[in-house]
Amino acid sequence: MSQVVLINQCKERIGAKSLAAELSELLGVNTDAAYRRMRGDTALSFDEIQKICQHFNISFDSVINYQGKLVPFQFNAMFQSKFHILEYLKNIEQELKTLSRLGAESAKITMTNMDLPYFRQFGFKSLSRFKLFFWQRSVLNLEDFKQKKFDAYEQLDDYETITDNIYKYYHGVSSTEIWAPETLDSTIKQIQYYHESGLFVSKESATAICDDVQYLLDKLEQEAQLGKKVVQTPKGAISSDFEMYQSDIFLSNNCIQAEFNNKTYTYVSFNSFNSLMSFSPHFSQECTHWIEQIRLKSILLSEVSEKLRYQFFKNLRQKLDELRVLIG
């Protein structure tokens, strides 16, 4: 079974290419011998398993502990010299692009939003630029940003193309999202900290971010009312189904589950904007059960609950108004 699991993971990574041809070249065997290994007729040697895992970037733990208590995760090591946030965003862009192309019947996202999800932040220029700046200056502590102040009107070139695509592809995937009264808090505190620390080039930069948060809330409320996410692009509108819930239970993290091709990929946030990813079935089932328990105790805000939806967004806007008063 472990060999079958390993081969299936190879098939997922290779896409439309011939796995038999790839294994034949990698292992130095003929095509028939590669097929025998793929069927499980011939057992893989330790050296062959090592080569396959390294070549296809597969964790050996994800094979031998597929149903065990140990859960393998994938993540991007951010505090490494080779890490670049642009490449990190490109991976997210590619994953969302794949989901959006599968369509509503084949793909879905379920999220618990302790913080504002970056899928939504990236649709608003000043807010998107601020988040990218905050991550690089205050989280990654990059040398180029240590003496720099934030300017909401400074264009970020390649970053903006990728973040625009992430925002666009997100609208092409049906989603169920659980929000909380605290979802906006971390963003407000980040803006407040930068204001009080003199890290904005001008008051206008801080105000521009607040304006974008306002636009985000207006759009989100409208989409909750319609039960649809919609974004306009030069090629026309992109839309998908949207369910929004309000949870009064504190959400301990941003958990994202992407379902497609009869598999569930679970992403759990850590270190501000990084995430651990696992497709271990029993781990995903645990997370699915936790999310479902939260959802059952939450209030559906999309399409119904007009009064409660109004109150939820009124409270979020009040927090934003208090921040505006502080900025002056």
pLDDT of residue 178: 96
Q: How confident is the model at residue 63 (pLDDT cuts 50, 70, 90)?
A: low
**pLDDT tens across 208-254, in order?**
999 999 999 999 999 999 999 999 888 889 999 999 999 988 777 78
Q: How confident is the model at residue 8 (pLDDT cuts 50, 70, 90)?
A: confident
pLDDT of residue 158: 82
SS3 call for 127: helix
Q: For residue 145, what is the DSSP state?
A: G
Cα distances (Å, whole numbers) of residue 279 to 28, 66, 114, 213: 30, 9, 22, 33
Report the number of secondary-structure helices (H) and strands (E) in the chain: 13, 8
**pLDDT tens across 292-306, in order?**
999 999 999 999 889
Report how far residue 8's alpha carbon sits from residue 169's, in angstroms, rounded to the nearest whole number: 27
Given a cut of 90, whether residue 184 has pLDDT beyond it is yes
Q: How confident is the model at residue 68 (pLDDT cuts 50, 70, 90)?
A: low
More confident site: 44 or 12: 44
HEC per residue, 189-234 = HHHHHHHHCCCECCHHHHHHHHHHHHHHHHHHHHHHHHCEEEEEEC
Q: Of all residues in the chain, what percent carry a pLDDT higher than 70?
A: 94
Span 198-213, mean pLDDT?
96
**pLDDT tens across 127-159, in order?**
999 999 999 899 888 888 999 999 999 988 889
Mean per-residue pLDDT of the chain: 88
Q: β-strands 228-233, 175-179: how paired?
A: unpaired
pLDDT of residue 66: 53
Most confident of 7-16, 102-111, 192-201: 192-201
Span 66-77, mean pLDDT?
68
pLDDT of residue 288: 92
pLDDT of residue 128: 95
pLDDT of residue 104: 67
pLDDT of residue 64: 67
Given a cut of 80, whether residue 65 has pLDDT beyond it is no
Q: Can you give the length of the chain in residues?
A: 328
Q: How confident is the model at residue 62 (pLDDT cuts 50, 70, 90)?
A: low
Span 254-263, mean pLDDT?
85
Please report the sign of the dihedral spanned by the C-alpha atoms of residue 44, residue 48, residue 50, residue 52. negative
pLDDT of residue 170: 94
Of the listed ranges 181-190, 261-270, 282-291, the least confidently predicted one is 261-270
Q: How remote is the C-alpha of 70 from its chain's centroid? A: 23
**pLDDT tens across 91-108, in order?**
889 888 888 888 767 889
Domains identified in the chain and CATH numbers: 2-64 (1.10.260.40), 85-327 (no CATH)
Single pTM value for the model: 0.80
Span 163-180, mean pLDDT?
94
Q: How confident is the model at residue 1 (pLDDT cuts 50, 70, 90)?
A: low
Structure tokens at 221: 């409320």
Say if CB 225 and CB 66 are below 8 A apart: no
